[in-house]
Amino acid sequence: MTVSNNWVDRVHGGWLALLGITILSPDALLIRLIRADDMTTAFWRLLILGLTLTVAAAWRGRRAHQPLWQAIRPRRDEIFAGVFYGGTSACFILSIKNTDAANTLVIIAATPLISGIIGAFLFKRRQPLRTWVASIVVFAALAIIVGNGLGGAHMLGDILALGTALCMACYFNVLGARIAVDTVRAMMVGALLVAICVAPAATPLALFPWDPLWLILLGCLVLPLSFTFISMGAKRIPAAEVGLIMLTEAILGSGLVWVFMGEVPSSTTLIAGAVVIVTLASHSALALYSSKRRRGPVTTV
């Protein structure tokens, strides 16, 4: 009796997604280590990422014997998706620069629920009762986090974190509705477009000695590699399982900033963040259990 290929694929996919999230977790820490101003950081991070993805798209096209222009030219749907991805990246950078990293990562963790709500209203996708209940609990917790920062130094960053989650949710919905979208080209065009938009407000040459290293690590290694592994894993496991694994970023990312930068989250963020993480984890676990029940037991040969 041999183990089914389906089971092997799911275990493999889970480890790939977890590896991708682990690689992505230093993202917030690296942004915090960059001492350049907000717009300069956003400009270089997006430009380097966009150029890296351009090279990746060109290399992939060469392997497929495509002309260079055909390999890197985005289609209309990819430009549309790219705008949301660019908005996600820009809001994330500016949020990390203007609030506690824990606030940003906890708020972003709600993206799967926001994506589901958007899908229900815009694309008429039916959502189970557990999604609506989880949404009410999570949104109440997020309101506490954001409300705690109103009128304070963290207000702008918390609002930008909500913008990050909203843009990311829209990006996922576009990908779900337009399955032919090439995510490499979508991310490429989004990163380059937003880099061009923020360029007038940036001071590209005003970098501190270690800034180029952190920017290159982000744009050439952390973001492309994490995206590759998460995408490979997402093709092998259910969306609920991906969402469950992605929650580790909020914990790992906040922990790294806590350890290396000494940035201790507020008690409000810790309590409300724990509510968000537990609710989202329970929601994903229930969705995964429900999916397994519908499929029935896995047969072996």
DSSP secondary structure letters along 146-196:
HHHHTTSTTHHHHHHHHHHHHHHHHHHHHHHH-TT--HHHHHHHHHHHHHH
CA 67 to chain CA mean position, Å: 31
| Mean pLDDT on 277-292 | 77
Neighbour-count burial of 111, counting CB atoms closer than 10 A to its CB (0-12 exposed, 13-18 middle, 19+ buried): buried
Look at 76 and 230; give whichever has higher pLDDT: 76
Q: Which two tokens stand for residue 59?
A: 């290399």
pTM of structure: 0.83
Residue 131 has pLDDT above 80, yes or no: no
In the 8-state DSSP scheme, what is residue 123?
S
Q: Which two tokens stand for residue 231?
A: 């995408």
* Confidence at residue 235, expressed as pLDDT on a 0 to 100 scale: 64
Residue 145 has pLDDT above 90, yes or no: no
On whether the CB atoms of residues 222 and 27 are closer than 8 A, the answer is yes
Mean pLDDT across the chain, nearest whole number? 83
CB-based burial, 10-28: b 16+ in 10 Å, e otherwise: beebbebbbbbbebbbbbb
First to last CA, the chain: 6
In the 8-state DSSP scheme, what is residue 99?
S
Residue 5 has pLDDT above 60, yes or no: no
| Mean pLDDT on 272-294 | 78
Q: Domain residue spans in the chain? A: 5-295
Q: How many CB atoms lie within 10 A of CB 291?
A: 13
Q: For the chain, what is the radius of gyration of the CA atoms? A: 19
Single-letter amino acid code for the residue at 53? L
* Confidence at residue 2, expressed as pLDDT on a 0 to 100 scale: 40
Residue 234 has pLDDT above 70, yes or no: no
Q: Which two tokens stand for residue 209?
A: 């000695």
Could you give the 3-state DSSP secondary structure of residue 297? coil
Residue 149 has pLDDT above 90, yes or no: no
Residue 4 has pLDDT above 60, yes or no: no
Helices 101-108 and 76-98: crossing angle in degrees, nearest 10, is: 150
On whether the CB atoms of residues 118 and 169 are closer than 8 A, the answer is yes
* Confidence at residue 299, expressed as pLDDT on a 0 to 100 scale: 43
Residue 47 has pLDDT above 50, yes or no: yes
